Structure 1
Amino acid sequence: MKKLFFILLISSAVLTSCSQPAKGVHSVSPQEGYDAVYNKKESSLQLVDVRTAEEYGVSHLKDAQNICVTDDDFQEKVKTLDKDKPVYVYCKKGGRSSRAAEILSEMGFTQIYDLSGGITAWEEEGLQTTQ
């Protein structure tokens, strides 16, 4: 019984720690992202599409730069971003952008916004993309 309790306690701690966003990372809805990007609530924001170049070529958000999180040189490329300005990241559904946001946080970025549901949720909301 004690073993079972201990296993449940450890499992709970691991699951809880894995579900916590990285420091400085905020999840934003497609509408919040749209307002920031197109209504320029954040005039100095940096918008990063972390998908592959092929995915980016099909459609992306206006003014987004493509820095693929699965590329070996991702960290080197994001060093060109300003750590003092907001960074909005997105991918297809949210998995890769979550990883990118975690990396950015580890690198010292403090204003990181992860588009919840990625470009898929954005398009489902009927929001504009660019080809």
Structure 2
Amino acid sequence: MKFLIDNIFLFAVAILSGGALLLPLLQKRGNRVSTLQATQLINQGKTLVLDVRDSDAFAAAHLIDAKNIPLKDLPQRMVELEKFKAKNVLVVCQTGNQATKAVAQLGQAGFAQAYNLEGGIAAWQTQGLPTVK
């Protein structure tokens, strides 16, 4: 008992650091799909690929048949996507972080089947999957 009282600070630090390590696992990560799952969605033919990177990054390399709407323009251009509300929407950015924000915006606009490509186009290219310029 004396050991516990003498080292309470160390125990508190250990518990807090352990909790901090578990926090990302417990947080809701949204609708994320792997490159394999994304390929399956695209191959079904009922999926819009939405690239939310800026125009220069999109021009350098993007998924086949992707539509480019930069994240900053998405709220104003949401009307362009209305016809895809009943379809799957695969959102792509460079690493997956910006796509998370876009998926949240799409969800608020009523897109129930919006998915974030986990790892973004970087993960897609790492897997050797095709892109176009």
Q: What TM-score range do you get, normalising by the shorter chain?
A: 0.7 to 0.9
Deviation, 1:47, is: 0.8
* Identical-residue share of aligned pairs (%): 32
TM-score w.r.t. the length of structure 1 is 0.76
Q: How many equivalent residue pairs?
A: 113
The structure whose RCO (Cα within 8 Å, separation 6+) is larger is 1
Cα pair 2:41 2:88 within 8 Å, conserved: no
Distance of 2:131 and 2:49 partners within structure 1: 13
**2:3 maps to what in 1?**
none
Deviation, 1:50, is: 0.5
Where structure 2 has 5 or more consecutive residues not aligned to the other structure, the ranges are 1-11
List structure 1 segments (4+ residues) > 6 angstroms apart after TM superposition. none
Structure 2 matches for 1:55-66, cutoff 5 A? 55-66=57-68
Where structure 1 has 5 or more consecutive residues not aligned to the other structure, the ranges are none
Question: CA RMSD for the aligned pairs?
Answer: 2.1
Deviation, 1:36, is: 2.2
Distance of 1:21 and 1:80 partners within structure 2: 26
- Greater Cα radius of gyration, structure 1 or 2: 2
Cα pair 2:89 2:113 within 8 Å, conserved: yes
The residue type equivalent to 1:119 in the other structure is: I
**2:34 maps to what in 1?**
29
TM-score w.r.t. the length of structure 2 is 0.75
